[in-house]
Amino acid sequence: MSVLTVGISHRTAPVSMLERVSVSGEALVKLLHDVQQDVCVSEAMVVSTCNRVEIYAAVDRFHGALTGISRLLSVHSGVPVEELTPHLYVHYEDQAIEHLFSMACGLDSMVVGEGQILGQVRRALTLAQKQGTVGATLNELVQQALRVGKRAHADTDIDQAGASLVTAGLALAGDLAGRRALVVGAGSMSSLAATTLARAGVTDIVVANRTFERGVRLAASVGGRAVEFSAVPRELAAADIVITCTGGGRHVITPDIVPTGTFLLDLALPHDIDPAVREVPGVTLVDLETIQESGIGWREGDTVDSVRRLVTEELAAFLTAERAAKVTPTVVALRSKAATVVEAELGRLLMRMPHLDRKARDEVAQTVQRVVDKLLHEPTVRVKQLATSPGGDHYAEALRELFDLDPKMPDAVREVEL
Catalytic residue numbers?
A: 50
Question: How does strand 41-49 pair with strand 52-59?
Answer: antiparallel
From residue 357, give the alpha-carbon distance in Å to each of 222, 349, 353: 83, 13, 10
**Could you tell me which of 98, 117, 148 has the C-alpha nearest to residue 10?**
117
- 212, HSE (Cβ side, Cα atoms, 13 Å): 6
Whether 381 contacts 395, CB under 8 Å: no
Rounded Cα gap, residues 19 and 48, in angstroms: 11
Tell me whether the omega of the peptide bond preceding residue 270 falls within 30 degrees of 0, making it cis.
yes
Q: Where does residue 106 fall: left (phi above 0), alpha (psi -120 to 50 degrees), or beta otherwise?
A: left
Whether 211 contacts 184, CB under 8 Å: no
Rounded Cα gap, residues 387 and 144, in angstroms: 21
Between CA 300 and CA 146, with CA 151 as vertex, the angle to 5 degrees is 100
